[in-house]
Structure 1
Amino acid sequence: MSEFHPTAEAEAASIISDHAARGAALAVVGGNTRSGFGNAVAAEAVLSSRGLAGIVAYNPGEMVMTARAGTPVAEIEAALAEGGQMMTFEPMDHRALMATEGEPTIGGVFAANVSGPRRFVSGAARDSLLGVRFVNGRGEIVKAGGRVMKNVTGLDLAKLMAGSHGTLGLLTEVTFRVPPRPKTEETIVVTGLNDAEAARAMAAAMALPLEVSGAAHLPLTVGWSFLDGKLPRGEATVLRIEGLAGSVSVRAKKLAAAMSRLGSVTHLAEDDSRRLWREIRDVKPYCDGTMRPIWRVSVAPGTGHQLVAALRLEAGVDAYYDWQGGLVWMRMESEPEGDVLRRYIHALGGGHATLLRATPAHRATTPAFQLQPEAVALLSARVKEKFDPAGIFNPGKMA
């Protein structure tokens, strides 16, 4: 399969125009660190944004950055660290989980709407996106949004590109918010709660006026794998506090006092806290070098543990919880069990299950994305037709 690495928008537009004229499918990628995600459909060539790299504009005082889509995430993070700022949505690094190589790119982050532990209080990657430039399926260069929130129509179009997985166009440039990075953080660890008790504890913590920015539950089967086994033995319910040092200290003490009524409480200082949440973000327990199916399941926070309990009656499953229980990372022992999983999700009030990792054979028989209601599916098809009338972009990644 041939690969294209354009270094200019016009070059990318020419490549896309040629393939559209011939009806030849293109696999649109950034750093290709999520290789294998989706349901495989043959493409004639790979079109990568990696050649479209570099930070275009960044003034920390404006709290906005513009970068070309192929810019490595590491370069973005280094510049933001120097400016005392961050990507508030904490994008995960998929390489260890998916057993891939390459460099994650900022365009890939937004194209997949990659969002980590802070998402449930600060929003997804999509919510930080202010503007984009992209090439649509006709080979036309499109600009939407900008560095300030004025053009509502353009802003909506920018957000439409986030999470489209390259099915609507090739992102060439993104503009996004970069708020100040917290000066420090601390994590409260509550030990000994089962899944249901942990769900209630996380809800109680979020109801307190303490600005908890991370809430996850790590059952006994996975807790040992974090921080090289430094967490207290047993189930761990972890709650993060961020901000100025004095404020963090006061709020962490109040949170610990409230949680001590529910279980044994310990504290993680800044370095261990940062490392723990990176490992939660990057799904460390399941970076096991296997191809056992991995599901990323989004449900109401109070139903995540019910879903896992129900599945254990019919399938071999291991799981842990982020987003106050609303995000369930799930590893199946052998088969994906997609029909069973989605049946229980529907019975518990709905949600989304995305098959992130699986063997090619399992991908051939299990839809990777949650099936859309008929009305939404019709609308999505119309949007796809407008952006990519020849249907050449990422045919296996229709969300």
Structure 2
Amino acid sequence: MKPKTETELAEMVAGLSHPVRIAGGGTRGIGGPDATIHTVGLSGINLYEPGALTLVAQAGTPLAEIEAALEAEGQQLPFEPMDHRGLLGTGGEPTIGGVVAANISGPRRIQAGACRDFLLGVRYVDGNGQVIKNGGRVMKNVTGYDVVKLMAGSWGTLGILTEVSLKVLPKSESTATLAVQVSDAEDAVQAMSAALKSPFEVNGAAYDPQDGRTFLRIEGFSDSVSYRLGQLRSVLTGCGEVKEIPDPAGLWQDLRDVKPFQGLDGDVWRISVKPSAAPEVSRRLAADQLLFDWGGGLIWARVSQGTDLRARLGAFDGHATLVRAGADTIETLGQFQPEPAEVKALTRGLRQRFDPRGLFNPGLMG
């Protein structure tokens, strides 16, 4: 099912008698019911005001189309959304609705914020087939909720996005990256922590254990970047040998898209932790391959197929998401970290209000 208008989608949902899977560009390959509603027909930029740093687009609009429009005006999506296709071995075309629905955010999140932080408004179709506009008419079943924040990261379980409004920002005039040679995860996190605590506005902090280097990015006006880069070198004194990466754009794209894992066998997990806990958590993972982002707050882990990484980790302050695995493993372990009983009850209550018939992506998030 591929509706071409919001009205057509609303009528389609109102007439549903069975659950459906919600799909954007098909790049994530999530499981669920065979019956699928594809939002790619809802495409196009409805409003773009560069002077107001505001863009409004239909949910099925290709991300590439949006990035091209922004590039022409010297602007960008500040949250640097990841492209999952190389990691997952999928095709399709990422859409802005899919980015918002999964709250996809890249390395710049540690300084700029996540996708949800730049989301100004949404339109969506709820489980009753009603069109809801955040900030417009208020339906009694959503009164009191921050709908924008709820929809970002809900993975289509609360409603089908039809339109998103986003704040955008100017692209930086200059970018520079320092690489610090470190001996282990403790040294890497120490270097990243020192850089991020400094006043020099580091907006990328990643560590590749296989490469043995920590990468730190600064962006802004050329003179400012040059000054801050010099100051950051002083901050990193004693952390290891420091060198500047001559052309860092490709490096950060590779880190964003977890390129070191691409084309390799095994399951891929995404673990969110406190940066200070990253070294200990990474040891407990006993993974074949690791990659740190967000100053150590995000750990990518590649392990043998079928590994229950949550059981291996045991209790820890964070959550582990299964990003890539076979269908049997996903069905057995679940893609998302199981919620505590009280949170699960809250989630169930929200779904009952937004999707009372249980139509959208059932079973995806517990």
What TM-score bracket applies, with the shorter chain setting the length?
Answer: over 0.9
Deviations 1:284-340 (A, max 9, x none): 0111153x111111100111121111232xxx4321100000000011123322332
TM-score where L is the length of structure 1: 0.87
Residues 12-31 of structure 1: pairs in structure 2 closer than 5 A: 12-19=9-16, 22=17, 24-31=18-25
Q: Which residue matches 1:63? A: 53
Is contact 2:310-2:320 (8 Å) kept? no
Hey, which bits of structure 1, 4+ residues long, moved more than 4 A?
152-155
Matched residues, number: 361
Structure 1: which 5+ runs fail to align? 147-151, 224-234
User: SS at the partner of 2:230?
Assistant: helix
Deviation at 1:261, TM superposition (A): 2.4
- The letter for the 2-side match of 1:9 is E
Letter in 2 for 1:364: E
1:322 corresponds in structure 2 to 293
Mapped pair 1:332 → 2:322: no
Q: Specify the code of the residue in structure 2 equivalent to 1:92.
A: M
Q: In structure 2, what is the Cα distance between the partners aligned to 1:383 and 1:100?
A: 31
What's the RMSD between the two structures over aligned residues? 1.7
Pick closer, same or farther for the CA change 1:155–1:61 going to 2, 3 Å: farther
Q: Distance in 1 between matches of 2:358 and 2:23?
A: 16
- Summarize the Cα distance change of 1:127–1:378 in structure 2 as closer, same or farther, 3 Å threshold: same
Q: Which letter does structure 1 place at the counterpart of 2:9? A: A
Match of 1:85 in 2: 75
Q: CA deviation at 1:185?
A: 0.4
1:378 alignment partner, SS class: helix
Q: 1:7 aligns with which of 4, 21, 36?
A: 4
Match 2:255 to one of 272, 276, 280 = 280
List per-residue Cα deviations over 1:164-218 (Å, max 9, x = no partner): 1011111000001101111110000011331111111111111211100000111
For residue 396 of structure 1, the aligned residue among 352, 363, 366 is 363
Q: Name the residue aligned to 1:304.
A: 278
Q: In 1, distance between residues paired with 2:182 and 2:150?
A: 42
Superposition pairs for residues 66-215 of structure 1, below 5 Å? Answer: 66-145=56-135, 156-215=146-205
Change in Cα spacing, 1:132 to 1:95, as seen in structure 2 (3 Å) is: same
Q: Which residue of 299, 312, 323 corresponds with 1:356?
A: 323
TM-score, length-normalised on structure 2? Answer: 0.95
> 1:153: Cα distance to partner?
6.7
Q: Distance in 1 between matches of 2:295 and 2:108?
A: 10
- Any stretches of 5+ residues in structure 2 without a counterpart? 137-141
Contact 1:311 1:340 (C-alpha < 8 Å) held by counterparts = no
8 Å Cα contact 1:131/1:155 also seen in 2: no
CA distance in 2, matches of 1:14, 1:302: 50
Deviation at 1:86, TM superposition (A): 1.0
- SS of the counterpart of 1:340? helix
> Would the aligned equivalents of 2:305 and 2:325 in 1 still touch at CA under 8 Å?
no
SS at match of 2:76: coil
